[in-house]
């Protein structure tokens, strides 16, 4: 196959070139005479590495609210938005074996349309899980761990955080963290509800920036004490970004992720008639226009280097979704999370490239190359270069359209971006050289997606730097 005449965008530059693909791999980038069995005309289009979305919640079993996407609909949504790799969450429930959870999740994932890997979400940190099962699973290719510092049922306390940091360091896994102060948030929620302030618009008051900033500071401090690289998930605004910037200035391996919704939504979006504001309940919450500006600076400077979707959808009009406690239920009982997989690239391209805030290579870096590097998948993913998987999105930077729920190709009944005016949209998505989205429809069958085992990688190697001469993880004096 030759993709001809487009502008190929890499993480650092862009130039007109053809892309030759054979057996699912990119074999050459240049100018080619002759013809191929399949030719794709990309004249006046951008040819970019497919999106790599490293924060996607699909089909996590739950006795409470239900995620509205399984692996088929979720990965269809990925393809429709130009994303070719997703990292989802094998989430352990209380009392469950992590090994059994991963085996069950791997079965569910067999219907994926795009490629995938799993983060291991630990929510019952018994010594057996932390010290035996997780290191074995990491060695088998599941090279990232996720923890929540808040949310009943899944959060782990500081003692467990420390033990999990030690395991991540020893086993060479990336630790990803949802950082918010649980007790503060719980107490704030109780006070708001007791005061009768229960509508969705009070959700941001119940999860103030200080609760996020404190937890970001705390997890960075603990990671620094154990010399363990970490990624902070979904940085919502200035104060957390500044904590990460300070950590990076100390030379620490602390990476920050944020999401398109933190650039376009504000607290004001939760203040809509009736229960509509619940469509915008996610955690940490939307902040302010000033936070948007700081986040733009942070992605331009590299302090935040990954844009993911944090796709965590539930239906709106559904007692298993946003209406879990009814339309009059308090915001504290509304499930956190919104759909965003298909919208991630179009919204971030529109806000970033089309509106002149970043250039196209920076866009590619943030949505594809950096995430692939951080989870140990680069250059197989996140690049258009000889030897890379031919995961490619062909993109019309001038295509203008109004987002609707139908365009998201997901399982849910709403998108928070309904009516959003996008400029820049995928016209074709290929996974390993096979077209999975043709600009209108999903054209690859469930099962086209493949699991991506990950080997050890240098990015997450520790620094070898401790606050004292003692390495507490390996119980050794190091200097």
Mind giving me the DSSP string for 48-101? EEPEEE--B--S---SSS--S--HHHHHHHHHHTTEEEEEEEEEPPTT--HHHH
> In this chain, which of 283, 339, 352, 426 binds ligand URP, going by CB under 6 A?
283
Q: What is d(CA 342, CA 306) in angstroms, rounded to the nearest whole number?
A: 16
* Six token digits for residue 213: 């900033």
Binding to ligand URP (CB under 6 A) within 55-74 occurs at: 57
Query: Residue 59 interacts with Zn ion (CB under 5 A)?
Result: no
Measured from the CB of residue 336, what is the shortest distance to ligand URP in angstroms?
3
Query: Residue 332 interacts with ligand URP (CB under 6 A)?
Result: no
Measured from the CB of residue 127, what is the shortest distance to Zn ion in angstroms?
25
Measured from the CB of residue 478, what is the shortest distance to ligand URP in angstroms?
35
Tell me what percent of the chain is helix, strand and coil, each rounded to the nearest 5. 35, 25, 45
Q: Which does 336 bind (CB under 5 to 8 A by kind): ligand URP, Zn ion, none?
A: ligand URP
Query: Residue 365 interacts with Zn ion (CB under 5 A)?
Result: no
| CB contact at 8 A, 254 and 233 | no
Strands 46-49, 392-402: pairing kind: antiparallel
Measured from the CB of residue 406, what is the shortest distance to ligand URP in angstroms?
24
> In this chain, which of 310, 351, 389, 391 binds Zn ion, going by CB under 5 A?
310
| CB contact at 8 A, 56 and 311 | yes
Q: Which does 282 bind (CB under 5 to 8 A by kind): Zn ion, ligand URP, none?
A: ligand URP
Q: Please, which residue, 255 or 282, has the CB nearer to ligand URP?
A: 282
Binding to Zn ion (CB under 5 A) within 154-213 occurs at: 178
| Closest C-alpha among 51, 67, 53 to residue 338 | 67
Measured from the CB of residue 34, what is the shortest distance to ligand URP in angstroms?
49
Binding mask 233-272 for ligand URP (x = CB under 6 A): -x--------------------------------------
* Phi, psi (rounded to 5 degrees) for 347: -70, -45
Query: Residue 143 interacts with ligand URP (CB under 6 A)?
Result: no
Q: Please, which residue, 335 or 424, has the CB nearer to Zn ion?
A: 335
Whose tokens are 């963290």? That residue is 177
Measured from the CB of residue 150, what is the shortest distance to Zn ion in angstroms?
8
> In this chain, which of 178, 292, 344, 428 binds ligand URP, going by CB under 6 A?
178
Measured from the CB of residue 149, what is the shortest distance to Zn ion in angstroms?
9
Query: Residue 122 interacts with ligand URP (CB under 6 A)?
Result: no
Measured from the CB of residue 145, what is the shortest distance to ligand URP in angstroms?
14
* SS3 annotation, 254-311: EEEEECCHHHHCCHHHHCCCCCHHHHHCCCCCCCCHHHHHHHHHHHHHCCEEEECCCE
> In this chain, which of 282, 316, 348, 395 binds ligand URP, going by CB under 6 A?
282
* Phi, psi (rounded to 5 degrees) for 331: -55, -25
**Per this entry, what is the length of the chain?**
479
Q: Please, which residue, 21 or 122, has the CB nearer to ligand URP?
A: 122
Q: Please, which residue, 88 or 368, has the CB nearer to ligand URP?
A: 88
Gyration radius (Cα) of the chain, Å: 21
Binding to Zn ion (CB under 5 A) within 120-159 occurs at: none
Which residues are within 8 A (CB) of 79 and not within 5 positions of it... i.e. 6 or more apart?
A: 113, 114, 409, 429, 431, 436, 437, 442, 444
- Count, residues near ligand URP per rule CB under 6 A: 9
Binding mask 301-320 for ligand URP (x = CB under 6 A): ---------x-x--------
Q: In degrees, to the nearest 5, what angle opens at C-alpha 169 toward C-alphas 99 and 183?
A: 80
Measured from the CB of residue 431, what is the shortest distance to Zn ion in angstroms?
23
Measured from the CB of residue 285, what is the shortest distance to ligand URP in angstroms?
8
| CB contact at 8 A, 407 and 80 | yes
| CB contact at 8 A, 344 and 352 | no
Q: Which does 117 bind (CB under 5 to 8 A by kind): Zn ion, ligand URP, none?
A: none
| Closest C-alpha among 455, 407, 396, 401 to residue 172 | 455
Q: Is the peptide bond before 335 cis (omega within 30 degrees of 0)?
A: no
Query: Residue 245 interacts with Zn ion (CB under 5 A)?
Result: no
Burial of 352 (0-12, 13-18, 19+ CB in 10 A): buried
Please give the residue ranges that form the binding site for ligand URP (CB under 6 A).
57, 178, 234, 282-283, 310, 312, 336-337
Please give the residue ranges that form the binding site for Zn ion (CB under 5 A).
178, 310, 312
């Amino acid at each position: 196959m030759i993709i001809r005449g487009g502008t190929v965008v890499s993480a650092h530059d862009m130039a007109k070139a053809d892309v030759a693909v054979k057996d699912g791999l990119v074999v050459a980038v240049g100018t080619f005479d002759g013809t191929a069995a399949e030719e794709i005309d990309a004249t006046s289009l951008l040819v970019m590495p497919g999106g790599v979305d490293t924060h996607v919640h699909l089909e996590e079993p739950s006795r409470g609210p239900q995620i509205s996407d399984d692996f088929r609909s979720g990965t269809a949504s990925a393809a429709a938005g130009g994303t070719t790799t997703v990292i989802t969450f094998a989430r352990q429930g209380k009392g469950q074996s992590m090994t059994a959870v991963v085996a069950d999740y791997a079965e569910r994932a067999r219907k994926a349309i795009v490629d995938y890997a799993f983060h291991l979400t630990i929510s019952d940190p018994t010594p057996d899980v932390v010290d035996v099962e997780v290191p074995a699973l990491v060695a088998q290719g599941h090279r990232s761990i996720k923890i929540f510092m808040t949310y009943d049922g899944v959060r782990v306390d500081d003692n467990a955080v420390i033990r999990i940091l030690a395991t991540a360091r020893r086993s060479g896994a990336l630790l990803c963290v949802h950082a918010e102060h649980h007790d503060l948030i719980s107490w704030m929620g109780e006070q708001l509800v007791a005061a009768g302030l229960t509508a969705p618009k009070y959700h941001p008051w119940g999860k103030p920036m200080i609760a996020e900033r404190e937890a970001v500071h705390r997890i960075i401090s603990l990671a620094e004490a154990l010399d363990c690289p970490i990624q902070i998930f979904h940085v919502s605004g200035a104060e957390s970004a500044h904590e990460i910037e300070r950590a990076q200035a100390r030379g620490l391996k602390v990476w920050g992720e944020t999401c398109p919704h933190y650039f376009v939504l504000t607290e004001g979006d939760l203040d809509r008639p009736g229960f509509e504001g619940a469509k915008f309940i996610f955690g940490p919450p939307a902040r302010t226009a000033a936070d948007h500006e700081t986040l733009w600076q942070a992605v331009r400077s590299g302090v935040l280097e990954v844009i993911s979707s944090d796709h965590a959808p539930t239906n709106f009009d559904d007692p298993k979704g946003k209406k879990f406690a009814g339309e009059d239920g308090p915001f504290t009982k509304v499930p956190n999370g919104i759909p965003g997989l298909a919208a991630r690239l179009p919204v971030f391209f529109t806000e970033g490239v089309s509106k002149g805030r970043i250039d196209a290579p920076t866009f590619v870096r943030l949505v594809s190359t950096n995430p692939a590097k951080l989870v140990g998948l680069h250059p197989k993913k996140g690049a258009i270069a000889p030897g890379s998987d031919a995961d490619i999105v062909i993109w019309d930077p001038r295509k203008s359209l109004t987002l609707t729920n139908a365009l998201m190709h997901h399982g849910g009944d709403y998108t928070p971006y309904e009516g959003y005016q996008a400029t820049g949209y995928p016209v074709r998505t290929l996974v390993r050289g096979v077209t999975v989205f043709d600009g209108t429809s999903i054209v690859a069958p469930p099962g086209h997606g493949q699991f991506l085992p990950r080997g050890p990688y240098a990015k997450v190697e520790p620094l070898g730097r401790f606050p004292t001469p003692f390495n507490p993880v390996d119980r050794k004096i190091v200097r």
